[in-house]
Chains A and B, each alone.
Chain A
Amino acid sequence: MPRANTREKEAYRKLSIKASPPRPILRNAVVAFLVGGAICLVGQIILSWISSTGIGRVQALSRTQTIMVFLGAFFTGLGLYDRLGAFAGMGAAIPITGFANSIVSPAMEFKREGFILGVSARMFQVAGPVIVYSFVASLAVSSAVLILAR
């Protein structure tokens, strides 16, 4: 029987798990913590430096974000950020620099298909779901606040 039945599939799944190397979860978590933490440290240094000039907190925060997004995009352009991602996984993906990478990398990738159907259409291939669901989440939270605060 070329197509396995449920029982055969289950047996094969177990065999496959046994044959696969275990994922190095502890190593991944430690590296993600250190690399993600280091990126946040850079952000904090920039924030403290900008704040020390005496401009308001909101201003300082948005400038810091802009600089971090720029850095993420810049190192993606240099072809270095994907290597950091391969090494540190979520440690590189979760900070805002990773968000910049998720937009810049498809933009670079699809430049050869033109600026309309390539770069601009594909730019949000990876980041699109993040934007959509963060919008949905913020809507849900603000609705809850609106209702509960009455």
Chain B
Amino acid sequence: MKFSRQGNSTVVFPVMPVVRSSACVVGPKEGKGPLREGFDLIHENTLAGRTSWEKAESLMLRQSLDIALAKAGLDETQIDFLLAGDLLNQIISANFMAREFDVPFIGLYGACSTMAEGLIIASMMVAGGFATNAALAVSSHHDTAERQYRYPTEFAYMRTPTSQWTVTAACSTVIGLAGNGPWIEAATAGRVQDNGVTDANDMGSAMAPAFADTVWRHLQDMSRKPEDYDLILSGDLGKIGSRLARQLLRQKGVDIEDRHRDAGLLIYEDSPEIGAGGSGCACSAAVFSAMVVPSMRRGELKRVLLVATGALHSPTTCQQGESIPSIAHAVSLVWKNEEVKS
């Protein structure tokens, strides 16, 4: 059996899994943002016609998966594994969505890095011959996250300039062996990093070291330079985290300045309410679905490194004075001109 690893920690797929389809269902704020054209369904209200925000988030997950399956021309019987995750305690949005599908289910938690975490696992399943098609669904919701991590939504307080706005969206993607592309060529799973940041309203600072570490290791393992990628997309570092991540990489002699973009800064127009940028599982996922995949299919981007970052804290650990451990997972996507036949 061929051992498909390169360097210390990068997985290189001998058979490249294909992104067969992706779909994104968003809330009203995201639906007014710069990427609105790329979304499949925009809800006018964060309740999405449900009686609670948690129910709305779960519904949005289901809708995004339904759309992704339809786009791939598949039904649920053709999906071998369903992977899903979100930000809530006991990943309830994902679990409650999964009860609507008759598919073997694996729940994931990687905080805001779940999209990349799921892509890595789904790709391994497909490339390893354990699945023909694996579906991945991730979500986050501003109002459900706010009440779990911070204050009631109607509570009157001033957000700090470092705080980020949780993206209300659910995104699904189907990974398989044949289809449209783009293709997943390699992936680097992150190591948990902790640089002692304790401010839960400054997740960009907490996550930047994890991003820098994963990107650096990925480039080392693949013997590549940032110039080999048309885009290095971080998940939700925001303004401050992006600045720090670039600095940390520059200290290691890697300059990503001209090709680094942050999903948290692409999804909304700049405003004081948004603060340092968007965040949440669905932040990187929404930009992946609405921007990265279409751009690759149009041939505008040939190789993209998606690096979703996650802050692995909870309100309990923050109250107990613990610093915020963070993670970043990297997935390298390529666009090949020749169509691969199954």
Q: A16-B202, A20-B202, A20-B205 are in contact. Are A2 and B155 (CB under 8 A)?
A: no
A28 at the interface (CB under 8 A from B): yes
Q: A12-B195, A102-B155 are in contact. Are A20 and B209 (CB under 8 A)?
A: no
Most A C-beta atoms less than 10 A away, residue of B156, B192, B243: B156
Interface SS of chain A: helix, strand, loop or mixed? helix
Contact with B along A2-15 (1 / 0, CB 8 A): 11100011001101
A61 at the interface (CB under 8 A from B): no
Residues of A contacting B193 in the complex (Cβ-Cβ under 8 angstroms): 2-4
Residues of B contacting A20 in the complex (Cβ-Cβ under 8 angstroms): 161-162, 202, 205, 240
Residues of B contacting A83 in the complex (Cβ-Cβ under 8 angstroms): 156
Residues of A contacting B155 in the complex (Cβ-Cβ under 8 angstroms): 82, 85, 101-102, 105-106, 126
Cβ–Cβ contact A82 & B196, under 8 A: no
Taken together as a complex, chains A and B put the C-alpha atoms of A93 and B156 apart, in Å, by: 7
Cβ–Cβ contact B154 & A23, under 8 A: no
B157 at the interface (CB under 8 A from A): yes
Total B residues in contact with A, Cβ cutoff 8 Å: 32
Residues of A contacting B336 in the complex (Cβ-Cβ under 8 angstroms): none
Residues of A contacting B153 in the complex (Cβ-Cβ under 8 angstroms): 82, 105, 109
Cβ–Cβ contact B243 & A19, under 8 A: yes
Cβ–Cβ contact A23 & B160, under 8 A: yes
B295 at the interface (CB under 8 A from A): no
Contact of B154 among A16, A19, A101 (CB under 8 A): A101
Residues of A contacting B202 in the complex (Cβ-Cβ under 8 angstroms): 16, 20
Of residues 232 to 282 in B, which have CB atoms within 8 Å of A's CB atoms? Answer: 239-240, 243-244, 247, 273
- Ordered by A's residue number, 16 sampled pairs between the chains whose C-beta atoms are within 8 Å are A2-B194, A4-B193, A12-B195, A15-B244, A16-B244, A20-B162, A21-B162, A23-B161, A76-B154, A85-B157, A93-B157, A105-B153, A106-B155, A108-B154, A109-B153, A109-B154
Residues on A facing B (Cβ under 8 Å): 2-4, 8-9, 12-13, 15-16, 19-21, 23-24, 28, 76, 79, 81-90, 92-93, 98, 101-102, 104-106, 108-110, 112, 125-126
| Given A82-B155, A85-B158, 5 other A-B residues pairs in contact with their CB atoms under 8 A | A16-B205, A82-B157, A86-B159, A106-B155, A108-B152
10 closest cross-chain pairs (CB), A and B:
A85-B156, A9-B196, A89-B158, A109-B152, A105-B154, A105-B152, A105-B155, A16-B205, A19-B243, A12-B195
